[in-house]
């Protein structure tokens, strides 16, 4: 299937490793012009070379104004952004009374305001072009709280409402906005948890970790013109881990 992504301009945040890198690579393979960003310039250079990504920018999405800056830089470099993928690292694990004021502020910026800041830049241009694809990569915590991830559970739970509100406003302009909710996926971050095979089987009905490519394949389709009638949705890629509807 030709996804008609040749020549489309995409910015993938958190694109040097993990899910972001897999999404960026899939978009490159479909012929899109792709820019990636993350904190580490060294990791960005390595990732860009390996996946043949055209552009990369260093930024720290936990700092106010950084997402706005990197979106503006990418637009200046590529001329426009047809596809925006927001994706940030997960916050530190902590129960409610263990969360410091500083962590609340930093995680709010990282998980929430970085999305808001970037959307305020891209949406007017997408509206002018009568085309846009926005994917917010978040977590199954957006639908179901995960133990000990207090700030993640709190901030991510609001994103489906934000997604639905904005998607309704911009659907008439050829712009779609969807949430991707990855579950337990085989990334470096999850490896740090050192989960046993038995534990994974207990948590995930499919009995295994997800492959980043599985989420990237869905993201690439949703980023394409072929997915123009799918908007305002929160789609879990979790092997059945979510318990609710």
Instruction: Report whether 110 contacts 13 (CB < 8 A).
Output: no
pLDDT of 24: 98
Q: Enumerate domains of the chain plus CATH numbers.
A: 9-237 (3.40.50.720)
- pLDDT tens over the chain, length 245 residues: 899 999 999 999 999 999 999 999 999 999 999 999 999 999 999 999 999 999 999 999 999 999 999 999 999 999 999 999 999 988 888 999 999 999 999 999 999 999 999 999 999 999 999 999 999 999 999 999 988 999 999 999 999 999 999 999 999 999 999 999 999 998 877 666 667 778 888 889 999 999 999 999 999 999 999 999 999 999 999 999 998 77
> Would you call 9 exposed, middle or buried from its count of C-beta atoms within 10 A (0-12, 13-18, 19+)?
buried
Rg (the chain; Cα; Å) = 17
CA atoms within 13 A on the CB side of 66: 21
Q: How big, in percent rounded to 5, are the helix, strand and coil portions of the chain?
A: 50, 15, 35
SS3 label, residue 182: strand
Q: Which residue has the tokens 């993350």?
A: 38
Q: Which residue has the tokens 């009374």?
A: 97
């Amino acid at each position: 299937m030709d996804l008609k992504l040749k020549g489309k301009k995409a910015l993938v945040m958190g694109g040097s490793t993990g899910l972001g890198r897999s999404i960026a690579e899939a978009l490159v393979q479909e012929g899109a012009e792709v820019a990636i960003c993350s904190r580490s310039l060294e990791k960005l250079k390595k990732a860009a070379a390996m996946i043949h990504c055209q552009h990369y920018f260093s930024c720290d999405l936990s700092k106010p104004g950084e997402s706005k800056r990197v979106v503006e830089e990418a637009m200046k470099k590529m001329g426009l952004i047809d596809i925006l993928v927001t994706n940030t690292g997960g916050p530190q694990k902590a129960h409610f009374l263990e969360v410091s004021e500083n962590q609340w502020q930093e995680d709010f910026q990282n998980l929430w305001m970085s999305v808001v800041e970037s959307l305020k830049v891209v949406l007017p241009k997408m509206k002018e072009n009568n085309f846009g694809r926005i994917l917010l990569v978040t977590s199954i915590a957006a639908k179901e709280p995960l133990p000990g991830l207090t700030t993640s559970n709190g901030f991510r739970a609001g994103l489906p409402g934000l997604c639905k509100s904005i998607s309704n406003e911009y659907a008439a302009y050829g712009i779609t906005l969807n949430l991707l909710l990855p579950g337990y996926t085989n990334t470096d971050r999850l490896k740090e948890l050192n989960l046993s095979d038995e534990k994974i089987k207990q948590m995930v009905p499919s009995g295994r970790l997800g492959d980043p490519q599985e989420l990237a394949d869905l993201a690439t389709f949703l980023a394409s013109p072929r997915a123009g009638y799918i908007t305002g949705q929160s789609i879990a890629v979790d092997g059945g881990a979510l318990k609710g509807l």
